[in-house]
Amino acid sequence: MKYTLLLTVFFCLFIFGSCAPGEIVERLSHHEKTEEGVITALTPEPVLEKEDTNDSNMVLESGNYWTAGIPGFGENALSAFTGEYRIPGITGTVKVWLTMEFIYYDGWNNRNSITSIAVYEKMGYEGLIAASTLQNNWTAAMLFPLGSGLSRQDEDRIILYLIDKFSGFSGQGQNISFPAFITY
C-alpha cells in the first residue's frame, strides 16, 4: 500500500511536473477553436469633426469616495459619496455629495429658476449650495465656488445635467461610481 501510494504520487509529479500549466489545460480540455467566435477588428464609430470632446465635458477631477459632512446643513456627520467636477470655462471645481441620509432643509430657499424638479439653494461660506432629492432615495448636494463666473442659467443647466446622471443611482446603496465625463 505504501509503495502504491508513493508510485502514484511520483507518477503524478512526473506527468504534471513535466508540462507547463497551459499544456495541461490544453491536454485535459478537448475543445476546438472556431473562427466564428473570434473578433478580429471592430469598426470605429464616426466622430464629428466639429465636436471637441475636451471642451464639452465636465471632468471628474477627484472623488468616488465616502466622506462625513455635507456643507449647508450646519455641523453634521452625514455620510456622503463625494466628487469634484471641473467644468470648462469656470474657475474652481463644482463639488458634489450624494447621500441616502434624511435631509432637513432648514434655512434653504426654493430655486425658482428650475421648475421641472424641486431644487433648494443656500449661500454658504464657499459659494452657492444647491440640493435636490433623487427619486426618494438619494439626495444630491452641489457646491458652486464663489467667483466661478457662471450665470444662473449655466448653474441651472449644470444642476439638471448632474441630477439627470445621478438619478440612475436610485436603487443602489453600494457599488456606485461618479461618471468620469458628463456632457455639458
Half-sphere exposure of 146 (CA within 13 A, CB side): 6
- What is the helix (H) or strand (E) element at residue 22, kind and residue range? helix 21-28
Own/partner long-range contacts of 114-120 (Cβ < 8 Å, ≥24 apart): 114/156, 114/159, 114/160, 116/160, 117/160, 117/163, 119/159, 119/163
How far, in Å, CA of 103 to CA of 126, rounded?
20
Which residues are within 8 A (CB) of 141 and not within 5 positions of it... i.e. 6 or more apart? 70, 71, 72, 80, 96, 97, 98, 99, 129, 130, 131
Q: Which amino acid is at 11?
A: F
What does R_g of the chain's alpha carbons equal in angstroms? 28
Sign of the C-alpha dihedral computed for residues 120, 134, 91 and 78 taken in this order: positive
Q: Which amino acid is at 72?
A: G
The tens place of each residue's pLDDT in the chain, 184 residues long, gives 777 777 776 666 666 666 555 565 555 555 554 445 444 444 455 544 444 445 678 999 999 999 999 999 988 999 999 999 998 888 889 999 999 999 989 999 999 999 899 999 999 888 999 999 987 788 999 999 998 888 999 999 999 999 988 887 766 666 788 889 988 7
